[in-house]
Amino acid sequence: MPELPEVETTKRGIEPWLLNQRIERVVVRQPQLRWPVVDELKLLQGQTVRRLSRRAKYILVETDIGTAIWHLGMSGSLRLVEPSAPAGKHDHIDWLLSNGKVLRYHDPRRFGALLWVEPGADSDHLTHLGPEPLSDDFTAEYLFRRSRGKSQAIKTFVMDGKVVVGVGNIYANESLFLAGIRPATAAGKISLARYERLVSEIKQVLARAIEQGGTTLRDFVGGDGKPGYFAQQLFVYGRGGEQCKVCSSVLKEIRQGQRATVYCPGCQR
């Protein structure tokens, strides 16, 4: 699944091509995505893109009459193509732009979405979300306070979008390794000092991933057609049974919340 750095990379990749451009035509080939594509999205035709932003793993495209919200789901991607490029089986939505380009949504699993919000309205998909991990609102004091009395494992705690958005499986694994915290440790038993380290590592890991273009995933391609490269620097994710790059211990793999968790029994306590 594309995580926050991949979504941010996509937003940055498409932004120069969409900002201040008019959406000349909206083509919906497959309206049955995670949530059905509503008819109101046809109102985008003739509208100018005023602003692009990201909230968690959602990309918001603002116009004068409302905001279109993209979610890439499990395998979705947004790509800029020429109008002459033939649509494939999994190319579900096109936006024809006034600059002659086409923004094309590709999603083999159809678990993504294109949502619509009128001006001044709140989206039910966004109102419950926690702070952005790279914002000043995400602090050790905040995590420490939210975690008191929690027996929930720290890895699933920081992956909860109501606690903090966008810390997906890959980056949770990596941040916990760099902070020296075992992923099964109860969130409520972690000290403020250790949360200081964890918050710092989460911010640094995500910032580096964004800077380098996101993680190379099988289903992900950035808005400019280039994959990410951060996967080359991963310490634990996807490396269960291999040697730790720091202490040479054999990395262990467990399941948490139906997801693979890899950690180092030597470096993480």
Mean pLDDT, residues 89-115 taken together: 96
Give the residue with greater pLDDT, 219 vs 120. 120
Q: For 150-154, 221-225, 231-235, 256-260, which range has the lowest pLDDT when averaged over its residues? A: 221-225
- pLDDT computed for residue 232 by the predictor: 59
Q: Name the binding residues for DNA.
A: 90, 109, 150
Encode 92-124: b = buried (16+ Cβ within 10 Å), e = exposed.
Answer: bbbbbbeeebbbbbbbeebebbbbbbeeeeeee
Say whether 259 is catalytic: yes
Say whether 57 is catalytic: yes
Q: For 74-88, 140-154, 188-202, which range has the lowest pLDDT when averaged over its residues? A: 74-88
Q: Report yes or no: 166 and 206 within 8 Å, Cβ to Cβ.
A: yes
> How many other CB atoms are found less than 10 A from the CB of residue 33?
22
The CA-based diameter of the chain, rounded to the nearest angstrom, is 59
Q: Which CATH class is domain 4-117?
A: alpha beta
Mean pLDDT, residues 153-169 taken together: 96
Q: Name the binding residues.
A: 90, 109, 150
Q: Is 178 exposed, middle or buried (0-12, 13-18, 19+ CB in 10 A)?
A: buried
Q: Of 57, 79, 155, 194, which residue is the catalytic one? A: 57
| 169-213 per-position pLDDT tens digit | 999 999 999 999 999 999 999 999 999 999 999 999 999 888 887
- pLDDT computed for residue 226 by the predictor: 63
Confidence at 91, pLDDT banded by 50, 70, 90: very high
Q: Report yes or no: 82 and 101 within 8 Å, Cβ to Cβ.
A: yes
- pLDDT computed for residue 150 by the predictor: 97
**SS3 state at 28:** strand
Q: Where are the domains of the chain?
A: 4-117, 140-263
CA-based angle 98:103:109, to the nearest 5?
160
Q: CATH number of the domain at 140-263, out of 3.20.20.70, 3.40.50.300, 1.10.8.50, 1.10.10.60?
A: 1.10.8.50
Say whether 2 is catalytic: yes
Say whether 3 is catalytic: yes
